[in-house]
Amino acid sequence: MAEPPDEARRSLFITNTRIGDAVLTTGLLEVLHAEAPDNRWTVVAGPVAAPLFAEAPFVERVIPLNKVRFSLHWAMLWWRLVGTRWATVVDLRGSAISRILPAERRFIRQSIRSDRRHKVVQAAAVIGRDSLPPEPRLHVSQGTRDAMAPRLPPNRLLALSPSANRIGKTWPLDRYVELIDRLTAPGAALAGWSVAVLGGAEDRPAAQQLVQALPGRAVLDFTGEPLIPTVALLERADLFVGNDSGLMHMAAAVGCPVVALFGPTDERLYGPWTQQRRVVRAVAEEVTFGPTSRTVSETHSQMLGVTVDQAFDGVTDLAASLPDRGLRPI
């Protein structure tokens, strides 16, 4: 984050708690920066998503919003922000504090539970850009890219994310093993590719199972990696395969082609925002479509309707459509 002069105009962007939801709002920040490139932005996000904004060159400060009992985190946040006269306030959480902060203009999200448009379009509507919603975009510094480069293989790279924030959205691990085995077998569509397994530190046991189940294949464990180095890896990856998750949205936001596996969630709302995508849906599962995730199980997978054949066809079809442009540079 660059240090601005004291007289710089400052603006405020309050975004979501979860990684995927926050990623889907990043296009708004790009548009607003382009309109007023001298503005320096303060970004407020959930503590898990906050690092995603740390290397954007026009972001002055990132404030992780840690929840406190009785919603006192909002009062604490107001106390930190009220001393600044903001040029623009954008609040995608629709909080009360944004209505009483000193600001020249404000864009505050209203309750839109009945809105069935994609989350990118819903976010763009807050600033009146839903007719041409801006694409999500993530920033990573060249220093982070340079630090990641020696750790990545020289051949083509498949980024794999077998995790999700709820068990209901998680495809069984044994099916991922079979999928990667078939895709990277000699003569197969991704023969000779390396596979980078992504996820949080809690996903390391699953990554190790993948490594051990595929001896002789170049399966690399990148679970537990901080978010911004993971962004650099996804910039370098040639293809991403995974569940409906924050990592899936991160991949789309850096231009990595995406194969997304969906079960209990609605891809019309949460699908990867990119033209280079294939969505594989568990058509046999009973799904309640709509703007809520309350139907997602916390105890069992609702992805059993996605077969390995479906996922294999989705990956090979997308891979065949990509231009043969060699390795993506880092």
Same domain, 181 and 276: yes
Which of 73, 98, 125 is the C-terminal boundary of a domain? 125
In a domain, 19, yes or no: yes
The H or E element that residue 67 is part of is: none
Residue 86 pairs in a beta bridge with 103
| Inter-CA distances, 312 with 211, 250, 259, Å | 19, 22, 10
Residue 137 inside a domain? The answer is no
Verify that 162 and 86 share a domain, yes or no: no
Do residues 161 and 292 both lie within one domain?
yes
Pairing of strands 86-91, 219-221: unpaired
In a domain, 327, yes or no: no
Mean pLDDT of the chain: 92
Measure the CA–CA gap between 90 and 107, rounded to whole angstroms.
Answer: 5
Same domain, 33 and 112: yes
Calculated CA dihedral for residues 179, 185, 188, 189, nearest 10 degrees: 60
Query: With bands split at pLDDT 50, 70 and 90, how would you rate the model's confidence at 298?
Result: confident
CATH number at residue 81: 3.40.50.2000
Task: Check: CB of residue 63 under 8 Å from CB of residue 80.
Answer: yes
On whether both 93 and 160 belong to a single domain, the answer is no
Q: 183 is in which domain, residue-wise?
A: 144-321
In a domain, 1, yes or no: no
pLDDT digits (tens, 9 = 90+) for 107-135: 999 876 678 899 999 999 999 999 999 99
Residues 170 and 286 in one domain: yes
End of a domain among 125, 160, 177?
125
Flag whether 169 is in a domain: yes
User: Residue 187: inside a domain, yes or no?
Assistant: yes
Q: How are beta strands 219-221 and 194-197 bridged, if at all?
A: parallel
Domain's final residue, options 66, 91, 125: 125
Contact yes or no for 165/245 (Cβ under 8 A): yes
Residue 5 located in a structural domain: no
Q: Say which residue the tokens 């990595």 belong to.
A: 256
Asked if residue 155 lies in contact with residue 193, where contact means CB atoms within 8 angstroms, the answer is yes
Residues 199 and 314 in one domain: yes
62, β-bridge pairs: 43
Residues 112 and 148 in one domain: no
What distance in Å separates the CA atoms of residue 21 and residue 169, rounded to the nearest whole number?
16
The H or E element that residue 120 is part of is helix 119-125
Contact between residue 118 and residue 268 where contact means Cβ atoms under 8 Å apart: yes
Q: Please tell me the predicted confidence (pLDDT) of residue 244.
A: 95
Residue 308 domain-assigned? yes
Q: How many domains does the chain have?
A: 2
Range 238-250 average pLDDT: 97
The pTM for the full model equals 0.93
Query: Do residues 163 and 295 both lie within one domain?
Result: yes
Alpha-carbon distance of 136 to 6, in angstroms, equals: 29
Is 91's pLDDT higher than 60?
yes
- Quote the CA–CA distance of 315 and 329 in Å, as a whole number: 21
187 and 100 share one domain: no
Same domain, yes or no: 152 and 190: yes
Q: What are phi and psi of 261, to 5 degrees?
A: -100, 125
Extended beta strands in 54-209, E state: 59-64, 86-91, 103-108, 157-161, 194-197
Indicate whether 179 and 289 sit together in one domain.
yes
Residue 25 banded pLDDT, cuts 50, 70, 90 = very high
Q: What is the pLDDT of residues 120-175, one digit of tens each?
A: 999 999 999 999 999 999 999 999 999 999 999 999 999 999 999 899 999 999 99
Average of per-residue pLDDT across 243-266: 96
Helix (H) / strand (E) containing 269: helix 267-270
Residue entry with tokens 């498949």: 158
Q: In what helix (H) or strand (E) does residue 74 lie, and over which residues does it extend?
A: helix 72-81
